[in-house]
Amino acid sequence: MSETQTLPKTGALLSVENVETYYGNIRALSGVSVHADAGEIVTLIGANGAGKSTLMMTIFGMPRARKGRVVFAGQDITQLPTHEIARLRIAQSPEGRRIFPRMTVQENLQMGASLDNLEFYDEDVRKVFDLFPRLKERINQRGGTLSGGEQQMLAIGRALMARPRLLLLDEPSLGLAPLIIKHIFEAIKELNKSTGLTVFLVEQNAFGALKLADRGYVMVNGIVTMSGSSKDLLANPEVRAAYLEGGRH
Amino acid sequence: MEYFIQQSINGLTLGSIYGLIAIGYTMVYGIIGMINFAHGDVFMLGAFMAMIVFLALTTFIGGVPVVLALLLMMLVAMLLTGLWSWTIERLAYRPLRGSFRLAPLITAIGMSIALSNFVQVTQGPRNKPIPPLVNGGVTIYGTGITIAYKQMVIVIVTAILLAAFWYLVNRTTLGRAQRSCEQDRKMAALLGIDVDKTISMTFVMGAMLAAVAGTLYLMFYGVISFTDGFTPGVKAFTAAVLGGIGSLPGAVVGGLLIGLIEALWSAYFSIDYKDVAAFSILAIVLIFLPSGILGRPEVEKV
Ligand SMILES: Nc1ncnc2c1ncn2[C@@H]1O[C@H](COP(=O)(O)OP(=O)(O)OP(=O)(O)O)[C@@H](O)[C@H]1O
Ligand SMILES: [Mg+2]
């Protein structure tokens, strides 16, 4: 009976169902169920060590969910090899950015376009440069020598080069100046509006994320404790007390 | 001076062969952090493949132009040795990925012993000679320095191969995928790169270069035995460490240096101690310059 509650809504592009993930014997996620409908922006907020990044990586099977399922566009991807999951056009700008340090900015972006063998590279790279003109100036610089903020832009740009259906962003605002964060959030909104890109966003910057997203989840110690529309979460006193007060703006 | 130049030419020739083998060590180390101890035996296997092709050509077809014979020997040796190496990686190394660090190392040593014993059993324990393929040479005008044609073949083939290989690694999709796996395997997978396949291809590429090195070695010395994987293998490994393991240009530079040192040592000191010289360098490099000449230090900003 309780199982029926966690079944995905029809039309969910991504649904994570009752997932449990472990590092060795330590459980990092317990019975986590979240979903993102096509065209939605969904955010996941939570304190350090809550398990947000673990959830993002579990979607890609690194580490694999020990229990539960991950379903994308109707296909069970729980046991699919990581690179095949990526080939379904799920892209991630991961925690820590993971720029290839000994590749140039250009090569990092080319890596993002691996799936199409650079077929749309010129077209897509122009869009990325429109979004982050700074990357264009640094095109031949090695990834490892970029500043933290530039690396963050590159990580997002690289994810966009994959022409994703679902974009997972793990703390895209980390290390960026407020003006650039605003710029990135606007860009995400714009992409979502114009192309219907579905975005799953993990953020410490809860206020900004909830402002941007349609819906949100709150995670505490590997458990989803609250969910709802961004408006409701923004108004919720518990959420305000834990994630918003003091951190506002 | 003439003597010095002559010995340097000999050293660079030998060094070309070491460099080709060293690339295989360095690439595999770069991508999975493992020293493939069986790589020297893969080189030896390549030389045997080339010898079998040569025997088949002379037995069944009779006289074949030397250039064509060499090309065929290289191509077939590359293909078969590549296939061997692919199989070894698949059966012996891949299942151990993710287990404790020493496991693949021990397996590689086992694989090295298995390969050389396999060749000993199937090809016999004695040296296998072939008639000289390339004869003669040129004397540089007004000096006593001679360059044998077979030395030229070695240097030219190595140069062409290195250029092609450089292009493959730096300018193609496969090369980019390979470098991405070397830098961050998890991220590569997140971008849709099939990491296992890329690792397999790395083994195959290294084996193909070693097969060419084996063919050139056979052509140069005219003889091969099942034990010939060991010494050139360890010297090429030394070359890879000297150049900075993980660095492709380092492997080539290291190979040439080891070749030079060996030739000059034999010329001015004692030929009996030439292997000792090469291995002493390994020890010295490991102590004083652990990341090699062109290697990068372990820590870097990521
Ligand atoms: N590779 C790992 N091995 C062992 N434990 C890990 C590993 N990665 C994460 N953990 C643990 O799992 C828990 C969840 O970590 P996770 O990185 O998912 O948190 P997070 O919500 O992303 O935190 P943050 O906001 O700080 O990025 C933490 O307790 C962390 O210590
Ligand atoms: Mg995190």
- Looking at the predicted structure, is the pLDDT value of residue B217 above 80? yes
A164 part of contact set with chain B, CB < 8 Å: no
The domain segmentation of chain B, as residue ranges, is 15-226
Provide the percentage of residues in chain A whose pLDDT is more than 70: 94
Q: Do A111 and B180 touch (CB under 8 A)?
A: yes
CB distance B183–A111 less than 8 Å?
no
> Residue B184 and residue A100: Cβ atoms within 8 Å?
yes
Q: Report chain A's terminal Cα–Cα distance, integer Å.
A: 42
Ligand 1, closest atom to CA A24?
Answer: 4
Give pTM, 2 decimals.
Answer: 0.90
**Which chain B residues are within 8 Å of A83, Cβ to Cβ?**
189, 192-195
Convert the pLDDT of each residue in A195-229 to its tens digit: 999 999 999 889 999 999 999 999 999 999 999 99
Residue A229 one-letter amino acid? S
CB A24 within 8 A of CB A47: no
B31–chain A nearest CA distance, Å:
14
Q: How far apart are CA B67 and CA B46, in angstroms?
A: 18
Q: What is the ipTM of this complex?
A: 0.92
- CA–CA–CA angle A108, A62, B182 (5° rounding): 40
- 3-state DSSP assignment of residue A13: strand
Q: DSSP states of B140-201 as a string? A: PTTSS-EEEHHHHHHHHHHHHHHHHHHHHHHHSHHHHHHHHHHH-HHHHHHTT--HHHHHHH
Tell me which fold the domain A1-89+166-183+198-249 belongs to: Rossmann fold (3.40.50)
Helix, strand, coil shares, percent, chain A, to 5 = 40, 25, 30
Q: Output the CA–CA distances (angstroms, integers) from residue A90 to A93, A99, A186, in the order listed.
A: 10, 18, 21
CA of A28 to the centre of ligand 1 (A): 7
Amino acid in the structure at residue B93: Y
pLDDT (tens digit, 0 to 9) for every residue of chain A, 249 residues total? 344 444 444 579 999 999 999 999 999 999 999 999 999 999 999 999 999 999 999 999 999 999 999 999 999 999 999 999 999 999 999 999 999 999 999 999 999 999 888 899 999 999 999 989 999 999 999 999 999 889 999 999 999 999 999 999 999 988 788 888 888 899 899 999 999 999 999 998 899 999 999 999 999 999 999 999 999 999 999 989 888 775 444
CB-based contact, A178 to chain B, within 8 Å: no
Distance CA B256, CA B137 (A): 21
What pLDDT is recorded for position A8?
46
Q: Tell me where in chain A the CATH 3.40.50.300 domain(s) lie.
A: 1-89+166-183+198-249
